[in-house]
Structure 1
Amino acid sequence: MRYFLFALGLLGLLASAHAQSTAILEGNVRVAGTATPLQGAHVILEELAQGTTTDAEGRFQLANLPAGTYTLTVRFLGFVPYRQAILLQAGVTTQLTIILEEQTVSLGEIVVAASGLPQSRTDVAASVGLLRQEAMASVGALHPAELLNRLAGVWLMTPTGEGHLTAIRQPLTTDPVYLYLENGVPIRSTGFFNHNALYEVNLPQAEAVEVIKGPGTALYGSDAIGAVVNVSTPSAPDRPLLQGKVEGGSYGYGRALLSAGTRIGAHRVRMDANVTRTDGWREATRYARQSVVARWDWGRAGSRARLSTVVSFSHIDQNPAGSSALSAEDFERNPRLNYTPISYRRVWAFRLSAAYAYQTARSRLELTPYVRYNITELLPNWSLAFDPAIWDLRHRSLGLMVRYHHELQPERLRLTSGIDLESSPGSHFEQRVRATRQGKIFTAYTLADTLYDYYVTFWQAAPYAQLEVRPLQPLEFSLGLRLDWARYDYDNRLSVVTTGRHRRAPDTSRAFVHASPKLGWVYRLDRSLTLFGSYRHAFRVPSEGQLFRQGATSNTTHLAPVRADQFELGIRGALWSDWLAYELVGYQLEKRNDIVSYVDAQGVSQVGNVGRTRHRGLELSLRLKPTEAFQLEAAWSYTGQWYVSWETAPQSNLSGNELELAPRVLASLVLSYTPSFWKGSLLLFEWRRVGSYWMDAANTVRYEGYHVANMRLNLPLHSRVSLSGRVLNLWNRRYAERATYHPVRGSELSPAMPRSIYLSLQYHF
């Protein structure tokens, strides 16, 4: 016992001596002006390479530090970094109160999509368009196009309902060349792409939308060729929130939006609901949607950990004219006409994700498991005349995104690495219909034989790494590499068919391996002027429909990935104390191995990776704020897009032609006025120009394009009540959202909605 007590006493003396030979640093970090505690600030002793992050009360502590003089750095995105030399004395606890000043960022924007971490847009070696919650709220958009078309080089076509065709550094297309995300998680599986993906997201109540134009960074794989579009859901509030908005307008339009949230103990919760319906301005174009997004920000994940769970559900039921076009005669005489009133589209989209993040002073580990389930039932209007069928498309997904950020040297060297894993089993069912037609109008249909019935499972594993190096304070390089492995397992539930218009392949599997290198650089000439450039490679694997819905083609299962390479150079900055902010970007994007349907010399229908296209352009974004009351935002782009190699038949070579549905000019102006005599009010005038473009691949007929104006007004009536109104197509112009030409049918024009008026009332409880 005496020896035990002696040993215990000796240990106590040693511990006391150690405590007296080491130091403790503790304190709190607050926001200048408000003294608000700042959670998540990085506190680092540079010479020791030791650090921590502040807790919910802004507090931090570093213990067992050797005595000496060190450089203390405190950093938090959006604030001026704090640096101070401090003396730590043995056996002494040094206490500090650190005040961080908010930092003015040119163009005033923080983005997360490029690196997975919040960063100033001035630090990104890419052109990233950003729409924030306040701007989105002022628009009160009926359709995603009203928001995204404000960005330079972006054109979303507006069919009926909330579907869309997209053109971002590409012609207007339904091809899978865009990657759509919600909180960084793909909305749909790669193999089951849908060009209407944004209608599965509750965009009117989103917190922000980011658009990386052109191929994505190493964080993103297949489909990220034309753009990466990320929609962020709002965080749960610290204080009770309850607000509602009701809207009504032309053609039977009605919408109700409800948002509620609060803090419950250590947790925060939020729910957003959207119920929308309209009769449609064209005949038989009814549309309805119901969306719910619920978020739970957990408060007991640990002082260094964060956990957020998001559940999203949308149901869409519409009778779409969609992009259903009219003859030139009907377009002029009766644009409300709908040739395909029997068509329909019903969508159920469910997503669940849980984002867990554990952060230390120099690293951050993120784990995001997710599930999704999608059902689409439709009678496509675009194929009623030549291949009428009802479709039932389904897939469910189980995935995991793992990402690790590590600052190898603070402010100089950071490594982001990770892996994306996913399994997505799905099914594709088609049944022929016999459609009844009276003149030009399809009036009814009956069911006939089954054309396709197969199961297909998409598998994915994609490790990646992205290194950010700052050899000099104003210069930063980013180097990335992603390796995608993808596989389809196809199970045909019907007989094999080798002839006719609906051939069916036997059971098979296809695997793809593709490496995507990325390189970017940013050079800051000063706080308000930045140069940037990049090379980014991207690809897309063939979709399940391209591989296994064979049609009349002799073989489709041999298809390989489409590849793309983009070079980009840009300048962004601000003048006269941010009175003028600007960004100018030039790019060249070349797609190779594009999928082309063609007829060979023997007259047999084939499909192959034999296409090549080139896309060049300039994009300019401006924001002028000459006074507190007035602001002007302008976006302009000029593009040239060509077939480099594209032969569809022995006597039909399109090489050298311009791509159809690819306007050279896109332009947008938004003038806003916030009068001082009515605090909180806002008047917006918008002008949009879509330039002329070829209506066919042969470049025989050209559409002149169009310009359209909108006006919006927001008026606060009370501290809790506001009234909004908007007039779309202010001048009531008749124009085509999309114009195509067929050598037999002639010009086919999809009419745009005439002038429409909407009113909304919002109440904050």
Structure 2
Amino acid sequence: MKQFLTALSAWGLVLGLFLLTCSAQAQGTATLRGTVADSLSGQPLAGVSVGLQGQPGSTATDALGNFRLSDLKPATYTLRVGALGYRSQAVPVLLKAGETQRLNVRVATTTLSLAEVTVSQPRDPNQSLAAISHIDQLLRPVNSAQDLLRLVPGLFIAQHAGGGKAEQIFLRGFDCDHGTDFAVSVDGLPVNMVSHAHGQGYADFHFVIPETVEQLKVYKGPYTARFGDFATAGAGEFSTKTRLEHSQVKLEVGQFATRRALVMLDLLGPDHHLLSKRPESAYVAAEYNFTNSYFDQPQHFKRFNGMAKYTGQLSDKTALTVLGSHFASNWDASGQIPERGIEQGIISRYGSIDPTEGGRTSRTNASVVLTTALPHDAVLRQQAYYSKYDFSLFSNFTFFLHDSINGDEINQTDNRNLFGYTATYERDDQLGARSLHSTLGVGTRNDFSTLGLRHTVRRETLDTISTGRLFEQNINVYLDETLTLTDRLTVNAAVRADFFAFDFRGRRTDEGTGLPAPLAGRVARARVSPKLNLYYQLSPAVQLFARSGFGFHSNDARGVIQGVNANVLPRAIGSEIGSTFKPLPSLVVNAALWSLHLQDELVYVGDDAVVESTGPTQRYGLDLSVRYQLGSRLFLDGDFNYNHGRQLDAPEKANYIPLAPTFTSTGGLTYKAPKGLSGSLRYRHIDSRPANDDGSIRAKGYFLLDAVLAYTTPRFQIGASAENLLNVEWNQAQFATQTRLINTPKREPLEGVDELHFTPGTPFYAKLNVSVFF
């Protein structure tokens, strides 16, 4: 904390000196204030671009839809207001000396046009992928919660438990496991679980109903102060809809006994905004999923999601959002299978060594957000949230390696209560002719959990390996400043401080045996993370950026208190240079050359209750995203990502980072019409890469084609989707694992066999859906 106070004081001194050297605001200038809202609902819109035609610089609306343009010379201007998916507005404005004029602008939705996309992000410059993400959200078909994660450019996922577990995530040369190096949030609720029973940073995204998601903000690298733990490779912020355009009932049927039902109901009615004095909305949504999947052993996968959300203006200066949701799922799984099991005819490609794997999980969330406009163009946003989370997973990764009689099946359990609070104070100031956007944020997260790891056979407990109570607390504070140094150059400087308290109290189930005392202890650590980012608007169609920052990911509490490594919060140091530009009016390109050094990839392996460390690593790469509008309704997109990573302390020929992707690419061709026929043909490709340190075992790459078709009218929609059009045999999750099988044609050694294990990917898979709107 002392380091943070020193850094904060230094930044305050620099800012103070800048204020002293700035000239007084010119006399006789004018100010333009206003609010931008949706023309249909009346709801204020945040992040809308606002500027004066022919004038340098621009701004964006705040969380309450407000904007301000100051220090304007008396004249007649044209105010331009634009947001992706909304019709641009051009409003003539006559400003007189010394006056403050107010405007209320309402914008209507319209079809997507990339010619209207702007490449600058005046309020949130670190979100350089904003244009790309907004385009993808409007264009790309989303059929499941997994598809939402695929909206992140360059992100790949893999499932290896019948759809019930959180996906394995790959991004920027990281095998993020289930979220160790990628932070995910939904409506401000953290998705990643610290010190989880199965893996650090476990991010189960399945409690989100895909049709309710309205926006995704993507941040790659550790350059944004708002994100702390796990945001090394990047972070994704998902937001659900504030209102429904219409109520909807949807039914889906597909191969492998797949069924899904969705209901979304607008509780206030489409004309409520005409009767209400202040804009407000409320809706509920629920979905039910069932599938047996494509494995030989039926998966009996079931999932229920329900949510309710209210958004309203309590006054001209205060908005309230209340959200509640519940998620429950249970399933059977076939797990990862060894290549030799198929080669020796023990199982088929879609078979299982241990058919009793599977699990159940649930999560209940409650969140309240209060946003208040304060004097001096400031906005205070406060959020309090609570999650009740339960998890029980049965897995068998090594089969009969440790117990040749009963097998090695384990049960991991996590019974958790999560409380949190965040607050941000944002303010816009004028320093002479320059604008300064300041954000002060504070927050706390508190996890209380009972964790367990047990040895089981056919889901019956044989013995307890470890169990105990967890308390983990994070307290954080950050200061973020964005200053326009010139009409073209913007600097973003920030510093963040995090304090962690790790507390784990192991329980003894074998008292009186003379065994050592169970694992217990408490450790406290802090981390300060400065950031510095520069943005240069070379032209209205070209923005250059250079970013740098420190980040971290925490270790599991059980690993921390064991003192296996003093590096409790391994530091990440990242930097990148790049550009978002439009070489043609309908062509948007984002390119970044990046590098990231991770001090220690130290993780607690919940499968074995041990701590593993690969030491420091270095990665660099190139990201390229292209979005092109070929015609009024035809769009082409592609993401191309090259990554190179190595362990720094390992010998040259044994320094690969296992499973880290080296080249990935996604893309597609989309025909998008507001009504009538729409369709999309998409591909996914990931190359083969080392699965262990020396590359002697390799994870196999793949190339897949998917397709979606839909026919839409104002009253109904009929659609079809097909995954893996070419019916390719591909491996989804893949690992180099040492295992032992019994009852094989050739007796296996006691130490087992080290080879590639995998979960087979989806074969050709077709679904039909029909929706009714009302």
**Bucket of the pairwise TM-score, normalised by the shorter protein:** 0.7 to 0.9
Q: Find the partner of 2:693 among 684, 693, 697.
A: 697
TM-score normalised according to structure 2 size: 0.79
TM-score normalised according to structure 1 size: 0.79
Paired with 2:462 and 2:424, the residues of 1 have a C-alpha distance of: 49
Closer, same or farther in 2 for the Cα pair 1:39/1:462, shift >3 Å?
closer
Indicate the residue corresponding to 2:531 in structure 1: 518
**CA-atom RMSD in angstroms:** 4.3
Q: CA deviation at 1:523?
A: 0.8
Closer, same or farther in 2 for the Cα pair 1:261/1:323, shift >3 Å?
farther
Aligned 8 A contact 2:191 2:203 in 1 = no
Give the fraction of aligned pairs with identical amino acids, expressed as a percent. Answer: 18
Higher-Rg structure is 1
Indicate the residue corresponding to 1:758 in structure 2: 767
Paired with 2:557 and 2:543, the residues of 1 have a C-alpha distance of: 42
Indicate the residue corresponding to 1:494 in structure 2: 508
Q: CA deviation at 1:693?
A: 0.7
Q: CA deviation at 1:191?
A: 3.8
1:714 and 2:717 matched: no
Indicate the residue corresponding to 1:601 in structure 2: none
Indicate the residue corresponding to 2:452 in structure 1: 429
Between stretches 96-105 and 679-688, larger displacement belongs to 96-105
The correspondence of residues 213-292 of structure 1 with structure 2, limited to 5 A, is: 213-237=220-244, 241-263=246-268, 265=276, 266=278, 267-282=280-295, 283-292=297-306
The correspondence of residues 57-96 of structure 1 with structure 2, limited to 5 A, is: 78=83, 86-87=95-96
Aligned 8 A contact 1:109 1:130 in 2 = no
Aligned 8 A contact 1:563 1:594 in 2 = no
Indicate the residue corresponding to 2:381 in structure 1: 366
Indicate the residue corresponding to 1:671 in structure 2: 669
Aligned 8 A contact 2:223 2:548 in 1 = no
The correspondence of residues 73-472 of structure 1 with structure 2, limited to 5 A, is: 78=83, 86-87=95-96, 119=121, 123-124=125-126, 126-127=128-129, 131=133, 135=137, 139-142=141-144, 144=146, 146-149=147-150, 151-159=152-160, 160-161=162-163, 163-174=166-177, 176-192=180-196, 193-237=200-244, 241-263=246-268, 265=276, 266=278, 267-282=280-295, 283-300=297-314, 302-324=315-337, 326-327=339-340, 329=342, 334-360=348-374, 362-382=377-397, 385=400, 386=402, 387-409=408-430, 412-433=435-456, 435=457, 444-472=458-486
The correspondence of residues 2-81 of structure 1 with structure 2, limited to 5 A, is: 78=83
Aligned residues: 687
Aligned 8 A contact 1:139 1:147 in 2 = no
Q: Find the partner of 2:597 among 590, 601, 604.
A: 590
Aligned 8 A contact 2:223 2:532 in 1 = no
Deviations along 1:318-350, one digit per CA (max 9) or x if unpaired, are 112355555363599721202222112211111
Deviations along 1:288-333, one digit per CA (max 9) or x if unpaired, are 1111121111332x21111101112211111123555553635997
Deviations along 1:395-443, one digit per CA (max 9) or x if unpaired, are 212211011011122762111011111222111123322x3xxxxxxxx
Q: Which amino acid aligns with 1:735?
A: W
Higher relative contact order (CA 8 A, sep 6+): 2
Q: CA deviation at 1:447?
A: 2.0
Closer, same or farther in 2 for the Cα pair 1:481/1:591, shift >3 Å?
same
Aligned 8 A contact 1:692 1:705 in 2 = yes
Closer, same or farther in 2 for the Cα pair 1:152/1:343, shift >3 Å?
same
Q: Which amino acid aligns with 2:384?
A: P
Indicate the residue corresponding to 2:489 in structure 1: 475
Paired with 1:269 and 1:458, the residues of 2 have a C-alpha distance of: 34
Closer, same or farther in 2 for the Cα pair 1:576/1:110, shift >3 Å?
closer
Q: Which amino acid aligns with 2:635?
A: Q
Paired with 1:39 and 1:670, the residues of 2 have a C-alpha distance of: 30
Deviations along 1:175-222, one digit per CA (max 9) or x if unpaired, are 622211011331244344453421233334311233322225111111
Paired with 1:256 and 1:129, the residues of 2 have a C-alpha distance of: 32
Aligned 8 A contact 2:724 2:763 in 1 = yes
Secondary structure of the corresponding residue to residue 593 of structure 1: coil
Paired with 1:529 and 1:456, the residues of 2 have a C-alpha distance of: 49
Paired with 1:106 and 1:416, the residues of 2 have a C-alpha distance of: 31
Paired with 2:34 and 2:378, the residues of 1 have a C-alpha distance of: 21
Deviations along 1:471-491, one digit per CA (max 9) or x if unpaired, are 101111101110000101222
Indicate the residue corresponding to 2:679 in structure 1: 683
Indicate the residue corresponding to 1:571 in structure 2: 579
1:657 and 2:676 matched: no
Deviations along 1:626-657, one digit per CA (max 9) or x if unpaired, are 222421111111111111124xxxxxx57762
Q: Which amino acid aligns with 1:261?
A: D
Deviations along 1:55-86, one digit per CA (max 9) or x if unpaired, are 99x9999xxxxxx9799998967477979563
Aligned 8 A contact 2:600 2:617 in 1 = no
Indicate the residue corresponding to 2:3 in structure 1: none
Secondary structure of the corresponding residue to residue 205 of structure 2: helix
Between stretches 291-300 and 512-521, larger displacement belongs to 291-300
Q: Which amino acid aligns with 2:143?
A: A
Q: CA deviation at 1:719?
A: 2.8
Secondary structure of the corresponding residue to residue 762 of structure 2: coil
Paired with 2:127 and 2:484, the residues of 1 have a C-alpha distance of: 13
Aligned 8 A contact 1:245 1:760 in 2 = yes
Closer, same or farther in 2 for the Cα pair 1:134/1:533, shift >3 Å?
closer
Q: CA deviation at 1:625?
A: 1.5
Q: CA deviation at 1:29?
A: 6.6
Deviations along 1:249-274, one digit per CA (max 9) or x if unpaired, are 01011111111114365542111111
Q: Which runs of 5+ in 2 are unaligned?
A: 1-29, 52-60, 403-407, 739-752
Closer, same or farther in 2 for the Cα pair 1:702/1:449, shift >3 Å?
closer
Between stretches 379-388 and 158-167, larger displacement belongs to 379-388
Paired with 1:738 and 1:490, the residues of 2 have a C-alpha distance of: 31
Aligned 8 A contact 1:691 1:705 in 2 = yes
Aligned 8 A contact 1:458 1:487 in 2 = yes
Paired with 1:700 and 1:55, the residues of 2 have a C-alpha distance of: 52
